[in-house]
Amino acid sequence: MRLGKWLVMAWCLAFIGYSFFASPVLAQTAPVELKYSIFFPAPAPQTGVATEWGKEIEKRTNGKVKVTMFPGGTLTPAPQCYDGVVKGISDIGMSVFAYTRGKFPLTEVADLPLGIKSGLVATKLLNAYYKKFKPKEMDEVEVMYLHGHGPGLLHTKTAVNKLEDLKGMKIRSTGLAAKIVGALGGTPVAMGMGETYDSLSRGVVEGSLAPFEALKTWKWGEVVKSSTEDFGASYSTAFFVVMNKDKWNALPADVKKTIQEINEEWMVKQGANWDEIDKGGKEYTQSLGNKIVSLSKEEDARWAKAVQPLLDEYVKNMKDKGLPGEEVLKFYQEEMKKMQ
């Protein structure tokens, strides 16, 4: 009996000793788990690029960080994504600034009809703007990188060859895009992307503003007959990829450095991805026999002039808020000329 007690005691001491010495080692090797919320569905190319970003971080940190994707808005819906990151519901989030209008006033410059011609240019502009102006409206989070889709253009059931053709047409649009439609003489109709196919099919709306990508991703190519390359009034939409501030601050310095290096690379990848899927959307609609209308230089200038008041309104609104809107807009326009 005494021998049995000694054996039990020895086993307990050995276990305690193992736990004492082994636990710190195990704790050190356990990866940092990061939850990534994204509203795009799992099969979407945008989700694919984001997933690759996470895998690259895991690879280049030697497994110190593991990113788990939550696509389709399953962790936080698109409009709540940013606040979800701030509150720690997710550690990382990708969504659209305009889904929380008024929260990011200075950054609304990125959604103006500036004549954007590519997603890569829109993305480079956004990141250049952020690095130069460091807007306080993003101080609640750690910005990984920003990106923007390719040119938002007009897609309609009947061809629009000139500004007058658009007058009174019911065009699906949301946020600032609705103001663009109004400035061009159309009638904006607020509607989610998911409702647009049926509405176009049934004639509830006669067209929609979006990049070419939507013609394939959302199958609009089946229910429109024409796309107008109105680059004079084209716009982009600003997206963010941000991390919870506390989660970022808790990361080791070497991990932060690695992630920052990857962010610089993925900013370009994400912008180029928008252009690639735009190309696919354009090819798709053409394969269905739909028309592409390219405006003349003179006609395009008319469209640009029609939306100019929206740029002036942005400057005025920022001045009223005590923000450097005029400086930001000038920076955007000058940098865009260099890039396009």
Give me the pLDDT at residue 19, please. Answer: 43
How many domains is the chain partitioned into structurally? 2
Residues 65 and 163 occupy one common structural domain: no
Report the mean per-residue pLDDT for the chain: 92
**Cα gap 94→239, rounded to integer Å:** 7
Average pLDDT over residues 4-27: 45
305 in any annotated domain:
yes
> Are 187 and 267 in the same domain?
no
Question: Does 11 fall in a domain?
Answer: no
pTM above 0.75, yes or no: yes
Q: Note the pLDDT tens digit of each residue in 258-284.
A: 999 999 999 999 999 999 999 999 999
In this structure, the answer to whether residues 248 and 210 fall within a common structural domain is no
- Check whether residue 303 and residue 254 sit in a common domain: no
Q: Are residues 302 and 180 in the same domain?
A: yes
Please indicate, yes or no, whether residues 268 and 136 belong to a single structural domain of this protein. Answer: yes
Supply angle C-alpha 163, 159, 288, rounded to 5: 145
Q: Do residues 181 and 227 share a domain?
A: yes
Nearest to 234 by CA among 312, 154, 311: 154
**Residue 167 domain boundaries:** 153-233+281-339
Poorest-confidence range of 17-31, 128-142, 207-221? 17-31
The pLDDT assigned to 28 comes to 53
207 shares a domain with 95: no
Distance CA 47, CA 72 (A): 9
Residue 15 reports pLDDT greater than 60: no
Residue 65: pLDDT above 50? Answer: yes
Task: Sheet containing 238-244: give its strands across.
Answer: 65-70, 32-38, 92-96, 238-244, 141-148
Q: Is 325 inside any structural domain?
A: yes
Residue 67 pLDDT > 50: yes
Q: How would you classify residue 12: left for phi > 0, otherwise alpha for psi between -120 and 50, otherwise beta? A: alpha
- Please indicate, yes or no, whether residues 101 and 241 belong to a single structural domain of this protein: yes
Instruction: Give mean pLDDT, residues 60-70.
Output: 97
CATH of the domain at 255: 3.40.190.170
Structure tokens at 166: 């658009």
Q: Do 259 and 303 have their domain in common? A: no
Does 157 lie in the same domain as 136? no
